[in-house]
Structure 1
């Protein structure tokens, strides 16, 4: 089996030469697997084309790279194709030649994206990922705490590397002799006890000295003075590196396995298991522990950390270049100090700041958590190599997985009320760019142009013929519209483009809920599926008129609310004392004709005789209705039962559900479009508006408030008398004010004009809620602060009356909490979705039936007072067990599919719970069963 190894040093995302092949040229059939592993020092050196010794980048006078610097052409390749630095060799005929004067190989400039350099470090440094990652791999190998490990690496602690047992025994004997001698000399009892304590403590310290023990720098001098002859110690990354070099993995694993068998503590066993797991993995992968340290630091190819010239002689550079410069400067300084044998204190400090410079280069965000990260002159933290890889703006998610797409556009959306459900309005200038290749093709076919450049020229000049060709090009084509964030499948849908003037994209108002779109400045992206197969999928699977239901719940997702609901409600509401009230008509058409001749108002109560059509078969021969209701029902199919009721948002939802369930797709779509037109037309006709004087404050409000204040005062008295705790007092006061607000809330609708605009908007479900009305006409009530605690200070005024300054100030708590919660919950929900995708992306249907007998129980749910019926929870599921009726007869068998009708039938029979199949109980080994 052929394996390609990508050494897992931080820079390993770049293309390396492996077995003579560049990863960019390797085809899918060329390998069986990819293995990620730690890079050895020899492997890092094999990547390099030369050592970088100078921190300079480019010469600001010549604008060419500096010798031995971060952009040196000798190391990384020529800046111009087939041209050396000095200009002696130019042209492809010298390919492969190395200039004897400047040392640059004659080749293509693209090698500056592939060739790496290296920095020989003056001392060993640890890799921050393996030291600070969770769990810390270095700490696991060493068997120490990460805090102790950091003390050693950052020169604030010493580690014992070797212990001389013979010397320990001699020191113990000398200690006992010294104790006996001093004990004879001291006669004071207190001093004797003090001596005994000191002796036992020192003896304990001597006994506990072991390899790997870490001692704080502050205590080390005293410790070394007492016991320095029996151990060797080290400090810094070099000390840990030396310990790791001396580790025999096989021997250490055997030692830990033996200790695991001997220990009885669960906590100790868990720690040993973690260490064993890491050490066994390292042994199997043939990785040495000391490879977690760096003696040679790879330098990223220069084209991946570019430097560009700006106006005025300034340069913009990648943060990585600054971080590399810091490493090189500190490394060079350390080398000079080592050459002149500088004092240990100075050398230690230089080694520490070199370690910190390398940490900042590799991963500036996790370096020394809680301390300031390496930043630029304006204190902005610099983006390290890891920062360039991770997160939404990193290399993988932004550049490799997220692409900029050709044949796409973006614009603000506006409502297209005249569009059909599967249409969208595309500005013609945008469409011309989106469909440019198709327009050029049509121009060539019609011989308006004789080559592609001629066709493009006509398009650029926007010749008259171009628009005709564009009309032909978009015929029967679909485009995809997408609104970010795309949280579910319906965030991208396909539409037929309709050319429009202007610069905004028009969308059908009914599809807004699927995109969670509104018309307050939202933007949408448009994409053109190019191939025939993509166009087929867009038309048959992704078109808006084929996606009338939510994939998650099966409910309809058409937006018959807001203006549409208001227009339908206003038209189907019967109002007393209107013109023509009480009249009787021989047929629905006669009533509508009377309305046309102004003989009857369309909201007047009238009586109408039924006809023999299917629509009226459930009604009496003469039924009471209004012309408005007759007009609304004329929009519905002829066999749709007559709706003799006020049509609000919930009623429209039922109508939509019935249309989608019981009628052909084309019929349902046409009727939904007609309902939309009807609602818009009569919402406009109604001219619904409202003023502040329509908000009537309930007369009972003052009485309710006085009673609540009296009850609250009584509770406070009980608290002062010691009859209630502080917690009980707060709870009872909150309950009193909640109850008072609830009483006022019930009175608010009664105070409104039943035929007024505010009542119509609220009652139809078009806009507003009872809570909002209560805030405007009742009381604002209790406020929740930033911590989520309810304050016992009620706001007893409303926005109509106006708040006092203290009430307004208290109210701002809720506003701030609302805004912060919105931001935090959005991020939390997005992260949860991402994690769900990560764990479920490889779960695919791999077999017909796994044959499991396990299932889950579904019952009617009560979510915070909202009842979700059983039928809604089980429709579209497969039964996990047979369902019996009251007589014990089988009505549905295991593995039967439950349609909407079947689910409703089970609920109507009074069955309270049902067993259904679920992916959670599937026993398929890989993926799930169908």
Structure 2
């Protein structure tokens, strides 16, 4: 083992692990040989008679048959004393038959195909377990449910937010058992059979009973794909005629639903517990905040925005010379309006309280639904204003009042947008004949560029870029022309300006020009589409636009699958992170600085909102803003913003000391409710959903810089997120400084390649922890020099200096930390090569691990040079950059949960007397438990170091074998678990779902605590 290297060492260590497991679990090697093959019950391998009298049998029957035939044949041959060569052949065939029964797909080239003459590979025992259609994923993690139905959805504008319209016939079927029970109770019938007949006879009593049952019931509505927890919500059913489910228009955004033929599924909660959860936790009116960001998930959109915009518009508001009427009170103004003296959008003066306001009747009507604390909203309301109002109402009054306010907006806006009769026709888009003159100028410029290219002044790439620039400039001019031309009082302008629908980009395409299009490879085609959609395009222009359209469609299809798979891996790695205790007592925390926040394009306030403070914060004058241990709510956040602090120290999930899951203090607010997270919340699942849900909106492409110097591909969007979380090796990684020091940039005279020299100090350190209770002796004093190989601590487990350097001794609580630090002057040279963009200058001082060139950083190299903290910060920064650049906000804490899982495993260096073998990857908790056991027996402890793993590897190295087996590589995981005699403690969510137990999260963690605290509100 000690002599072996690389691959052979790995092989040997695997073998050693297997032998150790056999010895530890007292398994005799001969037990590993099967002498009896168990046969599974016939129900699990059925034979069915088909229409034509033929039989269709399960594949397992064929595989068993082959084993029996070969076994009998071998028995006969042995009895007949057949020659050795024949027997050996038969033995080999028997072994093959048993192999293919157990796992047919594992044997490459020797798979058994069906005897019916098709080339279909038979499904063996292992195949039944693995994959999406296997036992784990198809039947154990996801089951079909009774008492459910599905139908097309239509809009229900008269519903309240917590209601949905349920077709009568559907309800009759869904609530059938309840109806039958009630029929028997009222003695209309005496048994279930006659009750069914009674229901089918369509009697009035049945409908009365149904009405009574649905009065207090709740149903769950779900729209696939369910990307986050808001994809399933509970509603109170209102019985309606017809066959379509009616959905409240404001709950469409969280479901991502529209009414172009979408379908939704209905489920009926049956048990008392499920009914309580539906009414108190899953009800749509209790889930008006997004768990990903803490912003409202329900905000007025489209019709409602436009309705409020039209209602609060004042005609010719800027005209100060017009005659305006004055009213002594709102009542007088209303009477004048009802009498037809003034219109909704007329400018007028009204006395409100003690002041005279210039406003309109429409604004007065709008303000009747606005809660008092928000004051009088005297401006034209657009989408942003309404979103702000909803946020403000939630902050000042709480969720329940906000729900009423949202319904009021919906009703008011629906009424007035209907009265307004707003619509637009093609003539609302004015023609633009003057654009042709601009085109002529552009064409002359393009001709000049072509001439320069032909004369050799420009390269092909430069020519391409210049032509694109010319047409892009023209497009910008046309956008400005459209803005000037469009009627400011027209319907099209109102729709765009209010934020209800449409954008200048779309309007320009309709009335100006369509502009430049992209080819399938993602490069821009030089020929612009000069026609607008209103004029119509000619054949060539149409052909150019079809490229982009098809690419868009295929991109979307691919993106959906990729985003779904990423979500699945994230869920798997984080599923057992649950809030497990109040406070882990962490003192380390995380420093949020203004500098890094600005780099991330965020404010420090947004990043610390909803977190717990680790150190008190004061403003510039020394006045206390908030104490340590206090949560940063909206009020404290405003104070921080005022004080303009440079840094805030907060509790963080990354430094949480909880053995399992995380603690309430380190997590902070549950963003779905904007209050301290409760114990038992499955924060891992929430984090995975929050990162995965916007995944479908991220771009899929790797940008092609098209031959520009320093090019190559820049990975962005979804592939970049995947690359980071999977900790993949990066093709063209940025250069990092191997040591700290001063940079000298020179270039090789022959090859013209840049060479970087760093003159500085190469610092290396190794850290050891010892408990104060450990009996032993630290051999050297603080600050003394030690040589490599010298013993620095004598005790049960001696500590040997791994390198030459100074010894530093730091007591920390109950522990003593020993550091051996080596500093030596050195010079490092890095060959940079050509076309690399450096981000430092000649003569700069750099830190060890600092980025020298632009581009993505290799996480493993960064970890080696700067440690775990730097990697954590880098991942947060990079992920946030991807999401914010696509306009998808995401809270840091969700990324932190995933990073915590990436660093949750350790690799064994020295196994000591423990059950582990060197190089094995295990969870931190596992090694701590094992070391405690070994220490109690006075034996040697194992040593380990934290290892960075991608999310897939981390999932497969999970403690629970059921969870890992249901994720990927099912057979390998199960064999491994069987041989090493693993015990699954059922601590996560997945393993409990598999065996059919209530999950240890939410109400399964602390039933009353979960439901009770919700009642207070």
Q: Please indicate, yes or no, whether the TM-score normalized by the shorter chain is above 0.5.
A: yes
Tell me if 1:803 matches 2:537: yes
Q: How does 1:302-341 map to 2 (within 5 A)?
A: 302-320=42-60
The aligned runs of 1:94-133 (5 Å cut-off) are: none
Tell me whether 1:594 sits opposite 2:336 in the alignment. yes
Count of residue pairs brought into register by the alignment: 660
Q: CA 1:600–1:867 in 2, change beyond 3 Å: closer, same or farther?
A: farther
Find the aligned partners of 2:110 and 2:423 in 1 and give their Cα distance: 57
1:878: Cα distance to partner? 1.2
Q: Deviations over 1:605-637 (max 9, x none)?
A: 22222235xxxxxxxx32222222222112223
Taking a change above 3 Å as real, the CA distance of residues 371 and 365 of structure 1, as seen in their structure-2 partners, is closer
CA contact (8 A) 1:568 1:632 kept: yes
Asked if 1:905 corresponds to 2:645, the answer is no
Q: 1:897 Cα deviation (Å)?
A: 0.2
Q: Distance in 2 between matches of 1:335 and 1:730?
A: 79
Backbone CA RMSD of aligned residues: 4.0
Q: Is the 8 A contact 2:105 2:111 kept in 1?
A: no
1:861 and 1:868 in contact (8 A); partners too: no
Higher helix share: 1
Give the C-alpha shift of residue 846 in structure 1: 2.8
- Whole-Å Cα distance in 2 between the matches of residues 804 and 353 of structure 1? 70
**Pairwise CA distance, 1:657:** 1.0
Asked whether 1:532 is paired with 2:272, we answer yes
Query: Contact 1:749–1:759 (CA<8 Å) still a contact in 2?
Result: no
**Cα offset, 1:851, TM superposition:** 2.3
Quote the offset at 1:867 in angstroms: 5.5
Separation in 2, partners of 1:629, 1:777: 33
Deviates more, 1:568-577 or 1:547-556: 568-577
8 Å CA contact 2:111–2:121 kept in 1: the answer is: no
Contact 1:581/1:604 (8 A) holds in 2: no
Deviations 1:99-150 (CA, angstroms, capped at 9, x unpaired)? xxxxxxxxxxxxxxxxxxxxxxxxxxxxxxxxxxxxxxxxxxxxxxxxxxxx
Q: Deviations over 1:261-284 (max 9, x none)?
A: xx6xx6765665556545545665
- 2:189 equivalent to 1:449: yes
| 2:186 aligned with 1:476 | no
Aligned match of 1:607: 349
Work out which structure has the larger RCO, using CA pairs closer than 8 Å and 6 or more positions apart in sequence.
2
Residue 552 of structure 1 corresponds to: 292
**Equivalents in 2 of 1:278, 1:745: separation in Å?**
70
Report the CA distance between 1:309 and its aligned residue. Answer: 2.3
- SS of 2:253's equivalent in the other structure is helix
Deviation at 1:556, TM superposition (A): 0.8
- Greater displacement, 642-651 / 855-864: 855-864
- Deviation, 1:381, is 6.2
Tell me, yes or no, if the aligned pair for 2:586 and 2:651 is still in contact at 8 Å.
no
- Larger C-alpha radius of gyration, 1 or 2? 1
Q: Which of the numbers 563, 572, 586 marks the counterpart of 2:303?
A: 563
8 A Cα contact 1:364 1:373, kept in partner:
no
User: 2:477 — aligned with what?
Assistant: 743
Question: Residues 309 and 315 of structure 1 are in contact (CA less than 8 Å); yes or no, is this contact kept in structure 2?
Answer: yes
Residues 314 and 924 (structure 1), Cα distance of their counterparts in 2 relative to 1, 3 Å cut: same
Q: Which residue of 1 aligns with 2:616?
A: 882
* Residues 618 and 626, structure 2, Cα contact 8 Å, conserved in 1: yes
Deviation per residue, 1:292-317 (Å, 9 max, x gap): 99898766543223232233334444
Q: Name the SS of the counterpart of 1:759 in structure 2.
A: helix
Contact map agreement 1:871 1:900 (CA 8 A) in 2: no
1: CA distance, partners of 2:156 / 2:276: 25
Does the 8 Å CA contact 1:581/1:600 hold for their aligned counterparts? no
Match in the other structure for 1:171: none
Q: How big is the shift at 1:728?
A: 3.9
- Change beyond 3 A, Cα 1:859–1:521: farther
**Cα 1:850–1:862 shift into 2, 3 Å:** closer
SS at match of 2:189: coil
Aligned with 1:549: secondary structure? coil
Instruction: Tell me the residue number matched to 1:189.
Output: none
Q: Deviations over 1:521-557 (max 9, x none)?
A: 2222222222333322222222122112112211111
**Structure 2 gap segments, 5+ residues each:** 665-1017
Q: How does 1:664-743 map to 2 (within 5 A)?
A: 664-698=398-432, 701-743=435-477
Instruction: Tell me how far 1:776 sits from its aligned partner.
Output: 2.0
CA change 1:634–1:358 in 2 (3 A) is same
Distance 1:780 1:901 in 2: 48
Which of these residues, 252, 259, 262, is aligned with residue 3 of structure 2?
259
CA distance in 1, matches of 2:309, 2:476: 27
Give the 5 Å matches for 1:372-771.
383-576=123-316, 582-611=324-353, 621-698=355-432, 701-771=435-505
- TM normalised by structure 2 equals 0.58
Change (3 A) 1:650 1:382: farther
SS, match of residue 368 in structure 2: helix
Question: 1:236 is matched with which residue?
Answer: none
Correspondence for 1:852? 586
Change over 3 Å in CA distance of 1:327–1:561 after alignment to 2: farther
- How far residue 899 of structure 1 moved from its aligned partner, in angstroms, is 0.9
- What is the aligned partner in structure 1 of residue 627 from structure 2? 893
1:471 and 1:506 mapped to 2: Cα distance?
A: 17
What SS class does the counterpart of residue 493 from structure 1 fall into? strand
Distance 1:521 1:463, change over 3 A: same
SS of alignment partner, residue 836 of structure 1: helix
Task: Quote the residue 1:122 is aligned against.
Answer: none
Give 5+ residue unaligned stretches, structure 1: 1-256, 613-620
CA distance in 2, matches of 1:465, 1:444: 12
Q: 1:757 to 1:364 in 2, by over 3 A?
A: farther
2:516 to 774, 782, 789: 782
SS at match of 1:396: helix
Query: How has the CA–CA distance of structure 1 residues 752 and 444 changed in structure 2, closer, same or farther, with 3 Å as cutoff?
Result: same
Q: 1:856 to 1:664 in 2, by over 3 A?
A: closer
Structure-1-length-normalised TM-score: 0.63
* Cα distance in 1, alignment partners of residues 112 and 443 from structure 2: 53
* Residue number among 834, 838, 847 corresponding to 2:568 in the alignment: 834
Cα distance in 1 between the residues matched to 2:612 and 2:637: 11
**2:221 match: secondary structure:** strand
CA 1:356/1:602 → structure 2, altered by over 3 Å: closer, same or farther? Answer: farther
Aligned residue for 2:246, secondary structure, equals: strand
Q: Secondary structure at the match of 1:743?
A: helix
Deviation at 1:716, TM superposition (A): 4.1
Instruction: Identify the residue that residue 550 of structure 2 maps to in structure 1.
Output: 816
Q: Is the 8 A contact 1:364 1:374 kept in 2?
A: no
Structure 2 CA distance for partners of 1:299 and 1:861, relative to 1, 3 Å: farther
- Partners in 1 of 2:496 and 2:305 — Cα distance? 11
Q: 3-state DSSP class of the match of 1:498?
A: strand
* Alignment CA distance shift 1:371-1:537 (3 Å): closer
> Against the structure 1 CA distance between its residues 298 and 507, is the aligned structure 2 distance closer, same or farther, given a 3 Å change threshold?
same
Q: Distance in 1 between matches of 2:452 and 2:111?
A: 52
Matched-pair contact (CA < 8 Å) for 2:113–2:119? no
Residue aligned with 1:915, SS: strand
Spell out the pairing of 1:17-36 with structure 2 (5 A cutoff).
Answer: none
CA distance in 2, matches of 1:785, 1:655: 43
Q: For the residues of structure 2 that align with 1:746 and 1:865, how far apart are their CA atoms?
A: 32
Write the distance in 2 (CA, Å) between the matches of 1:538 and 1:465: 28
Task: Kindly indicate whether the alpha-carbon contact (under 8 Å) linking 2:59 and 2:124 is maintained by their aligned counterparts in 1.
Answer: yes
